[in-house]
Structure 1
Amino acid sequence: MAQRNDGNPSTNRETENALFEAVRKGFPVEYVDLLLEMRGYLDELRVEDLKEEKAPSTAHSGSRKVSSSGGTLLHVAVRRGNLEWVDKLPGMGASPTLHRDIEGYTPLTLAERMVELNPLDNTYKAVLSALRRVAVDATSVRGGKEFLENVLAEIRTGHTLINSNLSQMRDNQKASNDLIRELVENYALMVARMETLSTTPLRILKSLESHASDLKQKVGIIKIRSDVDHEKTNCINEMMQKTKIKGATYEKIDYARELYSNLYECDVLTSSLLHYLQNDESLSVYIDCTSENIEDIKPQYKNIDGEVFTGDKDSMFADREENRVYLAALMTSYFGKDIIMSRFARALAMLAINNLYHNEGRPYSIEDKGSLAAFQEAMAEAVAKKDKIPKNHPYVSWAVGMKTSLGRESRLAAVPIEYVAKFGSVQGRELMKDHVPMLLRFYEENVLPKLQ
């Protein structure tokens, strides 16, 4: 164990120099350079810990004072909130997810813990964002490597088949030469054999052409799937960055991520909505996973009709003025995940349409007379059919039942999103075509292209 600072400069310098000499023998030059920046903390480090690539941790008080609970140099950087170290160490080989300290934390989970303990300290939030970027980049590299390995496997298979066919062609060519020598002596035999030889190379070439086409198609499919998975992961990560979860735990974070993932995979209407919102820098989402209402995260609010409500009256609210969504996401026997998803999707759609058209939440621009006429026609259809729609599909009747014209238009514009989020893409679209087909057509022709 390194000696503590006893206040004697000469003694401390000797101890410090001895520690560096010991570390230099077992560490790359880059690590020694980094340790030179850590002179202020050397009296807290153990030579044995450093050789094993460990460093001190902190107590759970949130203090930045170093103790000796173990970990890598990246753990030290996270606990100190030193963003410069966190940016530098991954480039030198440190992993945010591979090693754990004696408390069981990886650098990434430790960064999440430090944010929980120090919610007002932006330094820890910056450290967590940096580590998440490194982890996402590492995942992308692994996915890219797997993709390339699959492509190489396909190419090797095709190469083997091509070699086999070429070998067969060479064998056929040798047989042809032998036959030609024989045919010189026997014209009748030559004619018969030539008919056979004329078809064999063509069949082989056609087989090669067919396999090459299949291989090209497979490679294309693999690339498309890889690109789609990357876009989905990036979109969900961006939305999670905008999301604040009350009393966040790993389980609650996974639950919120699952909501976004289900919406993304549901239908092109919902995936396009998330792609649009991921680029909205002012958007924020507040989720309470422990309640059926939003009272704890939004005690009071004014709805689009101008009516004032308390948070215990609703499980969702889209705040157009603050560009925020509030969601109570506790699943119960009544509120299943499909209902929570439909309400969440509705709130996100209302904010997206509000920001897309800048017309108080209406799904058309003030100067766009064509879209206005099309939406008024769809609304007239909804009003005429509202009593014919089954009671267990209340979205249209809720929308046209709003007290003001602004409330009716804003709420009705989000109905297609509610349908596919609640019932799935196939059933949701079928129900829309049966209940209010003009509204679905309006959304697909006017709103969806702008979101994309």
Structure 2
Amino acid sequence: MARNISASGTEQFVEERLLNGLFTGPLLQHKELLNMLEDVDVRYPRQRTLLHVGVGLGKADWVQELLARGADTDITDDSQQNALSLAEEMVRQFPEDVERSKVLNLVTLAHRRDQVIMRRLEASSSRSTDHVTLVASPECDIAPLKSSVDSLRREMKSLVNQWSSSLEELKDQVCRRDALLRCLEESVTSTAEDLTAVKIALGGEASLSQPTSDPVVARQECVHAMMRKTRIVYGSGVDEMRRLYERLYDEDEFTACINKYLCGDDRMKVMVDLESVDIGRMKEKLVDLDGTQWNGSDWISFCDFESETVYLGAKDCSGDREEFVCSRLAWALSQLSLKLVFDNEGRPYSKGDVEREREWMRAIEELEERRKRGEGLEWWIVYALNGKTLNAKLCWLAAAVPEIIADDGSLRGRAYLQDDAPLLLSLYSNNVIVKLLASAKR
């Protein structure tokens, strides 16, 4: 039986980290946590299990591992969907997604296997109760049971062969991806070495600081770097600003990635007014990304693409107010990271990437359809859809993802996005985050 999330601090930590890992990390980095999990069918918001989330995201490696650990394909969530019906729905929504097709194949095989076992057990139980006699007849009792077992073995062997074929196909694709990643890594390493040589030749830095493998040190270095790019224009409160950056780094991998990328970019800067809740004193007039003119007093945070500067009003930044200001900071920093990393007027994909452009347009269309049907959407998603230009819509829609997570918290924010904007979450995770991490200098 599936259980509710444990009250134990250790178990809750394991369960939450696994859920985050499903969204952002490769399976190999989380197998140790899976070994610590007491119940693979632990329930999350909306009564979903890890298997539900893995199927919804199209993570074939995670789904395969969870099924191998006995994840129940029949458990239903609040919308009465089990893993199989959810996998079928995902294939209908994303018919060209190879990973989701593989997920459906894996879940179908596991579901069929479980159904076969249940039918055999029920048949065996029925024969045991229907053929009770006063005189034992071993030969008569054993013969049908033996036949049933042999039949079950033949069917299981067929299922195992199908499963093995699917696994081989998955392994083949993973090998191809690993080869591509190795080529990319070699290319990046070569480019870094060339840049180092150029710096030395020009009399620049004799050496580049190497990224550290210690997560605590990496966090400190990233926060220190962001603080060096930050100027407190009004007021005093270095500790308050440092706490905001630390909160973004700790909240979720999505918000942390923005800091990891921006802390190594020499172009950006952050201007802060710690004595006001708006940016009016620092920027009296501003023009938004879609050309709309505003008074600075109407904005808590703002990303100025032209000067590559983020402005923030952060008065009384503590308690609940800190969470609010942090989410607005995430919104502005996210826009700037999109402008710098893709160099495409704030759009969340590179110039000339027709396939990604088509996917983001589909995300806009799907969310517009939800709005027309009167379904509830987060305020920042609605704001993005109301943009007067395509650049504004795309940039603000992508920036809404980390803002929602910073505002609602990692678990609630991701749960909302997975349920109400799954394509948006998938595009941000698989395209934007990957690009930010690949381009980060730290």
| TM-score normalised to structure 2 length | 0.49
Larger RCO (alpha carbons 8 Å, 6+ apart): 2
Q: If you compute each CA radius of gyration, which structure gives the higher value, 1 or 2? A: 1
